[in-house]
A = this chain, B = another copy of it.
Amino acid sequence: MGKVPVFSSLSGQNLASVAALIRRREYPKGEILFAEGDRLDDLVIVNAGSVKAYTIAPDGREQILYVFSEGDFFGERNLFDGRTAPYTLQALEEVKTCAFSREDFRALIADHPDIALAVMEALQTRIARMENALRSIGVRSVDARVSALMLEFAEKYGKPVPEGVLIRLPLSREGMANYLGIARETVSRKLGQLEAEGVIRSISGKSLLILDREALRQSAGVLS
């Protein structure tokens, strides 16, 4: 609880009173937490594991919008108007969450302006990330987008090892393709290319080692 950034300003007594309001839940890998259009009155915080948020386009393709992991939250839209999930949320692995009702959360904000600021900050961070993504998709080539994704994963899921950064990929090749909005064959090809250049090394399909982070940064920056 204390590690959730949104509540970092609370302490002692306050933290306890907040804890009384939450409802904890667990979901096994693959389970759908909420389907697009489901009623969703809560603000949900991810405590462990990771969750993908996606919609299905009319042509049947899956577009992944977010990969939420520890400390991230969703459902904040329900604090205002919407009361249905704008996308489907599915556990990529075993997931633990805690949830607040809309009313409890609004009351909490009225009593603790600090929390309001913290939520705004979190929303702001998300916007900043999306602005990056937009820049990325808008201007950058596909090569650059793949590099940017590797850097994103390195920050979120990477562990430093002597040779570089080791990543346990939260998404399959197909998942990455659906996240980037490109064909899965293209993901294979681009990753193969990066490996040929010595920038990354594939370990086991689901794990991957980044050898030359600087090269990724440069490639993600612009390049063709």
Contact = CB atoms under 8 A, between A and B. Distances in A.
Interface string A136-154: 0111100000000000000
B128 A127 contact: no
A4 interface: no
Contacts of A123: 120, 123-124, 127
Chain A's interface size range is 35 or more
> A-side binding surface: helix, strand, loop or mixed?
helix
A110 interface: yes
Interface string A86-113: 1100000000000000000010011001
Contact of A135 (B57, B119, B128, B222): B57
8 contacts: A59-B222, A65-B135, A80-B120, A86-B131, A110-B113, A130-B131, A137-B181, A138-B180
Contact of A124 (B77, B106, B128, B221): B77
With a 10 A CB-CB cut-off, give which of A124, A137, A138 has the most chain B CB atoms.
A138
B65 A128 contact: no
Interface string A18-46: 00000000000000000000000000000
A130 to B, nearest CB: 5
A3 interface: no
A132 to B, nearest CB: 10
